[in-house]
Amino acid sequence: MTAVLLLGMAITIRAQMFVVGTEATSTLLMAPSLSLELVTGNYTSLSLNGLWCGGSYVPMLKEAKVKALQPEYRYWFSGRPIHGWFLGAGGIGALYNITHKSKVYDGYALGIGATYGYVWNLTRRLNVEVHSGFGVIMYNRKEYFLHDNYDVYYTQDGQQKSNSKGYYLLPTRLGVTVSYILK
């Protein structure tokens, strides 16, 4: 029974348009990304964007290690997905360890937001998308100065505890994506 269900899902997915892309703005900032998008109907699609940054080459930061995933549901106003104006609702999940000036931020973030954008079809398969998004991001992190002994000051019962929790209203997506339609 499970095999029949998986086969049915594979046939359904195979018949849909599938798009792969990269966000050019994050790649220029030394944080490469990969996005996958699956058209689910005449007006809708599902998107998943992954971002990774791991090193000391990020401008203005001493060190930045970030891993993030952004799932998104998109509604296309043109009635033709992957073309024209869209509105998206999505989430974000990130793990990070960032050193900025003499302060360390080590933790995770979760959030929700909305995205608005436009896609231009350059060729039959090549697209350029501009988008911007805004959302609420909740964070839970260890925040300390670079030369603090965090292990001593913030350990309770043998466990390191976070010392900073809260939320921000921030841009969640802002950039230009170059994508290619596989099918």
What pLDDT is attached to residue 31?
Answer: 81
* CA proximity to 168, closest of 131, 141, 145, 130: 141
18 vs 46: CA distance, rounded Å: 10
* Strand stretches in 31-102, DSSP E: 33-39, 44-55, 63-76, 84-100
For 74-120, how does the pLDDT look when each residue is reduced to its tens digit (9 = 90+)?
999 998 899 999 999 999 999 999 888 888 888 999 999 999 999 99
| Upper half-sphere CA count for residue 3 (Cβ side, 13 Å) | 0
- Least confident interval from 6-15, 35-44, 167-176: 6-15
**Contacts of 126 by beta carbon, 8 Å cutoff, 6+ apart:** 178, 179, 180, 181
- The average confidence (pLDDT) of the chain is 84
What pLDDT is attached to residue 93?
Answer: 97
pLDDT of 30 above 60: yes
What pLDDT is attached to residue 4?
Answer: 41
What pLDDT is attached to residue 143?
Answer: 85
CA 14 to chain centre: 25
Kindly state the tokens that stand for 82: 């992957």
Range among 53-57, 60-64, 116-120 rated most confident:
116-120
What pLDDT is attached to residue 155?
Answer: 66
State the first-to-last Cα distance of the chain, in angstroms, to the nearest integer.
Answer: 28
